[in-house]
Amino acid sequence: MAISAAAPESISSGESGSAHLRLAHSVLSPGAQFADEASFHRWWKEVGDRDRTRVRRVAFDELERWRRDPATGDLGHESGKFFTVHGLDVRLPGAPVEHWQQPIISQPEVGILGLLVKEFDGVLHCLMQAKIEPGNAAGMQLSPTVQATRSNYTRVHGGNPVPYLDYFRDAPPHQVIADVRQSEQGAWFARKRNRNMVVEASGDVELGDRFCWLTLGQVYRLLAVEDLINMDARTVLSCLPLAGQGLSGALPARHRFAAALAASCTPDSGALHPTAEVLSWITEQRTRHEVHTARAPLDSLAGWRYDAERVAHESGLFFSVIGVNVLSEGREVRQWCQPMIEPSHQGLNAFLVRDFGGVLHALVHARVEPGYLDVAELAPTVQCTVENYTLLPDSARPPFLDDVLDAAPERIRYDTVLSEEGGRFHQARNRYVVVETERDADHPDYRWVALHQLTGLLRHSHYVNVQARTLTACLHSLTAADGSAFGAVGAF
Q: Centre a 10 Å sphere on the Cβ of residue 270 and count the other Cβ atoms it contains.
A: 15
Is residue 408 part of the contact set for a second copy (CB under 8 A)? no
Instruction: Give the SS3 label for residue 115.
Output: strand
Q: Which of 125, 195, 354, 426 binds a second copy (CB under 8 A)?
A: 195
Cβ 188 vs Cβ 230: under 8 Å = no
Residues within window 156-175 making contact with a second copy, judged by CB under 8 A: 171
The DSSP annotation for 310-366 comes to EEEETTS-SEEEEEEEEEEESSSEEEEEEEEEEESS-EEEEEEEEEETTEEEEEEEE
Q: Which of 115, 124, 146, 180 binds a second copy (CB under 8 A)?
A: 180
Is residue 374 part of the contact set for a second copy (CB under 8 A)? yes
Q: Which of 461, 482, 488, 491 binds a second copy (CB under 8 A)?
A: 461
Is residue 274 part of the contact set for a second copy (CB under 8 A)? yes
Is residue 275 part of the contact set for a second copy (CB under 8 A)? yes
Is residue 396 part of the contact set for a second copy (CB under 8 A)? no
Smallest separation, CB 90 to a second copy (Å): 16
Is residue 244 part of the contact set for a second copy (CB under 8 A)? no
Q: Which of 5, 10, 13, 427 binds a second copy (CB under 8 A)?
A: 13
List beta partners, residue 190: 106
Smallest separation, CB 373 to a second copy (Å): 7
User: Cβ neighbours of residue 330 under 8 Å, at least 6 residues apart?
Assistant: 50, 51, 52
Q: Which of 339, 423, 456, 490 binds a second copy (CB under 8 A)?
A: 456
Smallest separation, CB 179 to a second copy (Å): 4
Cβ 400 vs Cβ 354: under 8 Å = no
Q: Which of 41, 68, 181, 295 binds a second copy (CB under 8 A)?
A: 181
Write the interaction track for a second copy spanning residues 320-359; mark x where CB under 8 A is met and - where it is not.
Answer: ----------------------------------------
Smallest separation, CB 176 to a second copy (Å): 5
Cis peptide upstream of residue 173 (ω within 30 degrees of 0): yes
Is residue 459 part of the contact set for a second copy (CB under 8 A)? yes
Buried b / exposed e over 152-191, threshold 16 CB at 10 Å, is bbeebbeeeebbbbebbeebeebbebbbbebbbbbbbbbb
Is residue 154 part of the contact set for a second copy (CB under 8 A)? no
State whether the Cα torsion 463-468-470-475 is positive or negative: negative
Angle in degrees, 0-180, between the axes of helices 231-238 and 466-477, rounded to the nearest 10: 70
Nearer to a second copy, 17 or 159 (CB): 17
Cβ 344 vs Cβ 319: under 8 Å = yes
Is residue 267 part of the contact set for a second copy (CB under 8 A)? yes
Region binding a second copy by CB under 8 A among candidate stretches 132-140, 214-222, 271-279, 320-328 = 271-279
Within 121-210, strands assigned E span: 123-132, 140-143, 146-148, 175-183, 189-190, 193-200, 205-206
Distance between CA 435 and CA 468 in Å, rounded? Answer: 14
Smallest separation, CB 282 to a second copy (Å): 9
Region binding a second copy by CB under 8 A among candidate stretches 1-9, 63-71, 359-367, 456-464 = 456-464
Which pairing describes strands 175-183 and 193-200: parallel, antiparallel, or unpaired?
antiparallel
Is residue 286 part of the contact set for a second copy (CB under 8 A)? yes
Region binding a second copy by CB under 8 A among candidate stretches 178-186, 342-350, 356-364, 472-480 = 178-186
Per the document, the length of the chain is: 492
Is residue 241 part of the contact set for a second copy (CB under 8 A)? yes
Distance between CA 50 and CA 73 in Å, rounded? Answer: 39
Total site size for a second copy, rule CB under 8 A: 36
Is residue 276 part of the contact set for a second copy (CB under 8 A)? yes
Q: Which of 17, 30, 161, 203 binds a second copy (CB under 8 A)?
A: 17
* Phi and psi, residue 103, nearest 5°: -75, 155
Instruction: Give the SS3 label for residue 393.
Output: coil
Which positions lie near a second copy, rule CB under 8 A? 13, 15-19, 110, 171, 176-181, 195, 241, 267-268, 270-271, 274-277, 279-280, 283-284, 286-287, 373-374, 456, 459-461
